[in-house]
Amino acid sequence: MDYEAVIGLETHVQLKTLSKMWCGCPNVFGSDPNTNVCPVCLGLPGVLPVANEEAMRLTVLTGLLLNCEIPAYAKFDRKNYFYPDSAKNYQVTQYDRPSTQNGWLDFEFGGAPDGLTRVRITRAHLEEDVGKSTHFDRHSGVDFNRAGVPLLEIVSEPDLTSSGMAYDYLNALKDVLMRAGVSDCDMEKGMVRCDVNVSVRPVGTTPLGAKIEIKNMNSFSGVRRALDYEIPRQIEAVRRGEKLRQETRRWDDETGITEPMRSKEDAHDYRYFPEPDLMPFEPTAAWIGEVRTRVPELPLQRKLRLMRDFNLPAGDAQVLTDHLELGRFFEAAATGYKNPKAIANWVINALAARLAETHTEIAAARITPAAVRELVELVDSGRISGKIAQEVFIAVFDQGVSPTSVVESRGLAQVSDTGTIETLADQVIAAHPGPAADFRAGKVAALNFLKGQLMKLSKGQANPAVAGEVLERKLRA
Ligand code: ADP
Ligand code: ZN
Ligand code: MG
């Protein structure tokens, strides 16, 4: 029997706010331990939390990005547990009334633009991060700088079917959140963390198998590797006749295996109850409308639009999406021009290369979109050759002058005038009697050599098509 994997992800993302969720402590990474703390985020008795409105906006913004409903009523709950990373002995979260629910994320699985993959989003709810424990030789320490940092939990439906698909989903999610400014998603700083739920079932059946949750991956490729280990493990176990049971397993990145951590029997009972110190969250339509103005064009939409509106190949559209500034430059140059592909080539190749060589930010570059377009027009109209255009480009980039002025001041215009080219052709044929004779004897390739010599003699300015015609006519005469 063939088995398939069923995967659902719970992704935690730290929100990009200036201050923490319930207090004014800064939300920054990398400070000395326990320097960004106060009575509120240390959970001292008698304190009251005040919700960070920007965190609420970013939560709702995420809901909008993920096509979620934004319920008119949401609330906070206490998830009770006893562990040193939470001085309060509970974590504030949204248990049964989250701020966003029932959405989806479309993405390209395996980079294939034909047909998008859709993963349904169960919910994205707001909670708070907890402290970070560090274990030393003979004692442990807790750093509460992270405690109370706003944390969004994005729960997917079990719609993913492979490790590669989970990996692409996570990257797409990250792209969306970063583009909208919801989170910096820096994995190394622990800004994104992901728990994986996976089960297997016979292909073609619907009931879900026992859910196995895997924790402790610290990168997206860790998630992929954990699944690449876990899925075959489960399939082999089921094939052996073993009955899998719900459990939590721990991924070991060094050894590359998952190990049992706890079974359903010793699962926590969190005794959720409504947070008495916080009001329910009831966003008005006007408030949501304001958040909606922050929804940007998302990477996938942008890529598809560039492909559609400018008739670009997927690869070009991807580069111009990944490099937002280059993409904007391209759009400014190409809008309304008949040959956007040529402009894309200049932006992606010459412009990107020159920016890198000169360590220039695109915003500081002297070359304008209009100049690149003018350059392409000069080539497309036959006034300069592609080769000369390279030289003109560098001058335009370095000096901020117009391409036409460079062509005129340096006398670079392509020579299509037959008289001039005839003179050059006579010189080339006289200087290379061997190849000329070869051509006359039927060796067609010799023409290319002669044409190359003519181009060289003209310093690249002869119109190559005219040069070829004139040479051939003379040789056949
Ligand atoms: P819990 O209540 O234990 O948190 P949920 O039902 O809320 O479990 O699901 C948590 C995550 O696990 C979700 O992303 C969901 O899609 C996924 N999930 C649930 N059941 C399964 C299953 N049988 N196999 C794989 N993933 C599952
Ligand atoms: Zn604080
Ligand atoms: Mg759940």
- Give the position, in ligand 1's atom list, of the atom nearest the Cα of 155: 14
Rounded CA-CA distance 25/23 in Å is: 6
Please identify every residue whose CB atom is under 5 Å from ligand 2, which is an ion: 23, 25, 38, 40-41
Residue 267 has pLDDT above 80, yes or no: no
CB 283 within 8 A of CB 70: yes
Q: What is the pLDDT of residues 94-103, one digit of tens each?
A: 999 999 999 9
Per-residue confidence band for 111, with pLDDT thresholds at 50, 70 and 90: low
DSSP 381: T
Q: Which of 95, 123, 195, 211 to mutate to test the pocket of ligand 1 (most atoms within 8 A of CB)?
A: 211
Instruction: Return the closest-CA partner of residue 125 out of 217, 55, 195, 41.
Output: 55
Per DSSP bridges, beta strands 132-135 and 77-80 are unpaired
Rounded distance from Cα 20 to ligand 2 centre (Å): 7
Q: What is the dihedral of CA 464, 466, 467, 468, to 10 degrees?
A: 90
pLDDT digit string, tens, across residues 30-70: 999 999 999 999 999 999 999 999 999 999 999 999 999 99
Look up the CATH architecture of domain 418-476: Orthogonal Bundle (1.10)
In this predicted structure, the answer to whether residue 113 has a pLDDT above a threshold of 60 is no
- Tokens representing residue 328 in the block: 């904007």
Instruction: Check pLDDT > 80 for residue 265.
Output: no
And the tokens for 284? 């008005």
CA distance 371 to 395: 11
Ligand 1 first shell, C-beta below 6 A? 6-10, 155-158, 197-199, 208-209, 211
Q: Which residues pair with 78 in a beta bridge?
A: 92, 273
Lowest mean pLDDT segment, chosen from 70-84, 169-183, 407-421: 407-421
Chain centroid to Cα 425, Å, comes to 53
Per-residue confidence band for 404, with pLDDT thresholds at 50, 70 and 90: very high
User: What single-letter DSSP state applies at residue 32?
Assistant: P
What does the alpha-carbon distance between residue 339 and residue 374 come to, in Å, rounded to a whole number? 12
Q: 194-249 pLDDT, tens per residue?
A: 999 999 999 999 999 999 999 999 999 999 999 999 999 999 999 999 999 999 99
pLDDT over 70 (residue 278): yes
Please provide the average confidence, as pLDDT, over all residues in the chain. 95
Q: Is the pLDDT of residue 104 over 90?
A: yes
Number of the ligand closest to the Cα of 49:
2
Question: How close is the Cα of 95 to the center of ligand 1, in Å?
Answer: 15
Residue extent(s) of CATH 1.10.10.410 domains in the chain: 418-476
Q: At 13, phi and psi to the nearest 5?
A: -130, 125
Give percent of the chain with pLDDT exceeding 70. 99
Say how many Å lie between the CA of residue 283 and the centre of ligand 2: 25
Q: What is the model's pLDDT at position 386? A: 87
Residues 142-164 have a mean pLDDT of 97
Confidence of residue 414 (pLDDT cuts 50, 70, 90): confident
What pLDDT is attached to residue 428?
95
Pairing mode of beta strands 3-14, 192-202: antiparallel
Q: Which atom of ligand 1 is nearest the CA belonging to 208?
A: 23
Residues 6+ apart with CB under 8 A from 365: 351, 355, 397
| pLDDT reported for residue 411 | 82
Q: How far is CA 277 from the centre of its chain?
A: 38
Nearest alpha carbon, ligand 1 atom 21 = 211
Confidence category of residue 281, pLDDT binned at 50, 70, 90: very high
Task: Flag whether pLDDT at 110 surpasses 80.
Answer: no
- What pLDDT digit, counting tens, does each position of 321-364 carry? 999 999 999 999 999 999 999 999 999 999 999 999 999 999 99
Report how many helices (DSSP H) and strands (DSSP E) the chain contains, helices first. 16, 13
301: Cβ–Cβ under 8 A, 6 or more apart, which residues?
A: none
Centre of ligand 3 to C-alpha 11, Å, is: 12
Which runs of consecutive H residues, i.e. helices, occur in 293-402?
A: 299-310, 314-322, 324-334, 340-345, 352-357, 369-380, 386-399
